[in-house]
Amino acid sequence: MAAKPFSKPTLDLHPTGLDSALDYLEHHLPGWPYDRDLDHPFLTELLDDFPSVQLLEQIKLFRWYHDNHAPTGKPRLALRRWIANAKY
């Protein structure tokens, strides 16, 4: 049996969760100030810092908790606090 060749790790450690969450922020969270240059590293950090949290599910809960609008002021800080307090 031949050994499998070594494959290089991808740069994106969270392709599915990250892509889904970015798409949701851009297209499904009204009022979110979407900026890929900010949101990509922001969500990557959330996935790294809170690996047991289902990020997309929490973003959906966040959306509906705020009545289908992004909070005013500092929405990324509000979302980070929401994720930090998430139970799963």
pLDDT value, residue 15 = 52
Phi-psi domain of 31 (left: phi exceeds 0; alpha: psi -120 through 50; beta: other):
left
pTM of this prediction?
A: 0.79
Q: What parts of the chain have a pLDDT lower than 70? A: 1-16, 88
- Domain range annotation of the chain: 15-84
**Which residue type does 38 have?**
L
pLDDT value, residue 17 = 84
Residue 11 DSSP label: S
